[in-house]
Amino acid sequence: MALLDETGSTPVSSPERAQGRWTQWFGQIPAWGWLLAAFMLCLPLFASNFVIYQIFGWAMILGMIALSLMFLAGYGGMVSLVQMSVAACAGYMVAILGNSAATEISLGWPWWLNIPVAILIAMAFGTISGALAVRTEGIYTIMITLAIASAFFYFTRQNYVIFNGFSGFNSLEPPRLFGVDWRQAVPFYYLTLFWATLSYLAVWYVSRSPFGLALQGIRDNPRRMSALGFNITAHRIAAYTFAAFFAAIAGILLSWLNGQISPGTAGVGPVIDILIIAVVGGLKRPIGPFIGALVYVLLRTFALDVLVSLGLDGQRFQLLIGLGFLLIVFFSPDGLLGLWERWKSHMAKSESGLAPMHDGDA
Amino acid sequence: MQSAAERLSAAGTANALELRGVSRLFGALAALSDVTMSVKPGERRAVLGSNGAGKTTLFNCVTGDFPPTSGTVRFFGEDVTHFPPHERIRRGLRRTYQISQLFGGLSVVDNVYLACRGVSRGRFSLIRPRRNDALMQSALDLVNAVHLTDFKDMLVSELSYGQQRQLEIALALSGAPRFILFDEPAAGLSPTERSELIEILTSMPAHIGYIIIEHDMDVALRVVESVTMMHNGAIFKEGNPAEIESDPEVQELYLGGGHVRL
């Protein structure tokens, strides 16, 4: 019986088995996790400030926003285009409640008050958007959330009393805590790394909690979940609230990274970019959005130089991104992660295909 | 909505299930017309009838998968006609589906765990279940009760058809069911699996009543004490198994009507 238990648990690796002890927790981390952690922690030792700030800092922030979309789409089956707007909402709130160059609007609250309130307001925005969207399915969810995102964009551009209209807010910077200037490349990198890691771990952990399991159940078979006692509407709305938390943190980091926030932060372009990032990376696992974000940022940053060196118009970098998106979606609906997994299973198959032959030889 | 006290006092005396004039229209088609029936707590009943007789529609109206067009449904005295499905399930109603409705991407034990969680508190909990979690334990017990312990960590999509049918039953037994609707649980099972199913049904605690839709008379008549015959969306005959079996009209309908599965 004990033997059966052991063998039975290996294929699907039941994580609840390793609960309770930190040592067991660490044992669960795969080799690539340790390598990635070491690489990310040591990156500032050998990479330039440009690379850690403009490449990795930006990629981790976009990754967090795409992660909040991945949580809704991958686990909940709800493709929400409102996550970028939720992020921008948090960024705006930090500017409005805290300090900015627009002193006649900004209230100048201390950081310990304005940051939590900004996150709460953004979460409320995400929740209300979710409440409007969850009664629809598929393409209609996308349309409703796109409509909300567009409304947010036009509202912030036209409202001057609160959102300062077209110009938005400038001179946004993180609070000087512990005597560190968090706007400097290295501190900001670690700040972003900390929150990105926390978001990743939280989504990974919650995916196996009752809330996360039930969300996946609702994705696969809402009718059955209802017949098991779950209120699927409430559950879906709660998923929007949960996802909004990560988007909100990322939005605040983004406003610090750019030092400004304006309607263009959450225009239709960036809203769609988040969807592209999540799909390119892969919607099945929480690491996917970060991979997608890194690819996106690298393309955004270097495609222009590549095009110019080939004698083409540098403004065509969007074409490269679009082509890359098309190729990935065409060859692997599960994104880059899906490609990787297919390659792995292909290798495993060809190895096991060889095994009987070796046996025969022996 | 009644108060909790009202509900409790009603539950002592009321029927487990009481349908009054329940009809369900799909456009112009009456899938159910004016069905009135009552089932006592702990009673075990079979619903028989040819395809299209309205048996599964009856189940869907009782669970709220879709509501009746007219009529009332009472569950242990409480009017649940306009309740969403999850509110009925939380009051002790359970069902299985004719075509297994499971979560193929989750493991066997996770499927049952979800069913246990659905009728208890902490549905929104962000904390992963521990190894000694009480609900996880009852999920494992249920997995054992339907003989799936050896497959508990397998993905449901990898189970055989018969195992999926057994898992359907485990989901229906989760929590503290008071009344269960079984929709053709024996369909497609091997003879061995059928006798296992009969054993599970007959060994259930006496206070749990059920209605079973079943074409196989060998299964149906061995596990019930009363029978309702349906025809064209209406109740045709009610009685105990012996009466129904010997009823000339039933024989005419089933055998003379060209039904082959009996």
Q: Which residues of B fall within a CB distance of 8 Å from A12? A: 107, 153-155
- Which of B146, B175, B204 corresponds to the end of one domain? B175
B157: contact with A, CB 8 A cutoff: no
pLDDT score of B13: 64
Task: Tell me if A356 is assigned to some domain.
Answer: no
**Based on the structure, what is the number of domains in chain B?**
2
| Residues B86, B199 within the same domain | yes
> Could you give the residue ranges of the DSSP H alpha helices within chain B?
4-13, 55-63, 85-90, 108-118, 134-145, 161-172, 191-202, 217-223, 241-246, 248-251
At residue A274, the 3 state secondary structure works out as helix
Regarding whether B184 and B214 lie in a shared domain, the answer is: yes
Mutation target to probe the B interface, by most B beta carbons within 10 A, among A12, A14, A16, A228 is: A228
Of B98, B101, B113, the C-alpha closest to B143 is B113
Cβ–Cβ under 8 Å, residues A72 and A78: yes
Verify that B183 and B163 share a domain, yes or no: no
Same domain, B169 and B186: no
pLDDT band at A351 (very low <50, low <70, confident <90, very high): low
**Distance from chain centroid for Cα A71:** 8
pLDDT tens digits, residue range A106-128? 777 888 888 999 999 999 999 99
- Top pLDDT among A293 and A137 is at A293
- Mark out chain A residues that contact chain B at CB-CB < 8 A: 4, 8-9, 11-12, 14-17, 19-20, 205-206, 208-214, 216-217, 220-221, 223-232, 235, 238, 242
Q: Do B36 and B119 belong together in one domain?
A: no
Residues of B in contact with A17 (CB under 8 A): 131
With respect to residue A26, please indicate whether it lies within any of the assigned structural domains.
Answer: no
Q: Are residues B196 and B76 in the same domain?
A: yes
CATH of the domain at B211: 3.40.50.300
- Spatial distance between the Cα atoms of B11 and A99, rounded to a whole number of angstroms: 62
The DSSP line for A251-306 is: HHHHHHHHS-B-GGGGSHHHHHHHHHHHHHH-SSSTTHHHHHHHHHHHHHHHHHHH
Distance between B150 CA and the closest CA of chain A, angstroms: 7
What is the Cα–Cα distance from B26 to B21, expressed in whole angstroms?
A: 17
What does the alpha-carbon distance between residue A73 and residue A80 come to, in Å, rounded to a whole number? 7
Q: How confident is the model at residue A242 (pLDDT cuts 50, 70, 90)?
A: very high
Contact between chains at B114 and A238 (C-beta distance less than 8 A) = no
Residue B26 CB neighbour total at 10 angstroms: 11
Domain span at B6: 1-92+177-262
Q: What is the pLDDT of residues A180-189, one digit of tens each?
A: 778 887 888 9
Asked whether residue A81 is assigned to any structural domain, the reply reads: yes
Nearest CA in chain A to B156: A12
Given a contact cutoff of 8 angstroms between Cβ atoms, the answer to whether A293 and A300 are in contact is no
Residue with tokens 């996150």: A119
B8 and B39 fall within a common domain:
yes
User: Is 90 exceeded by the pLDDT of residue B78?
Assistant: no
Q: Is residue A131 part of a domain?
A: yes
Q: Are residues B84 and B196 in the same domain?
A: yes
Query: In this predicted complex, what is the ipTM?
Result: 0.83
Please calculate the CA angle B170-B101-B103 and round it to the nearest 5 degrees: 80
Kindly report, residue by residue over B22-51, the tens digit of the pLDDT: 888 888 888 888 889 988 888 899 898 888
Q: How far is CA A194 from CA A27, A41, A113, A267, in A?
A: 21, 10, 21, 27
**Within-domain flag for A260:** yes
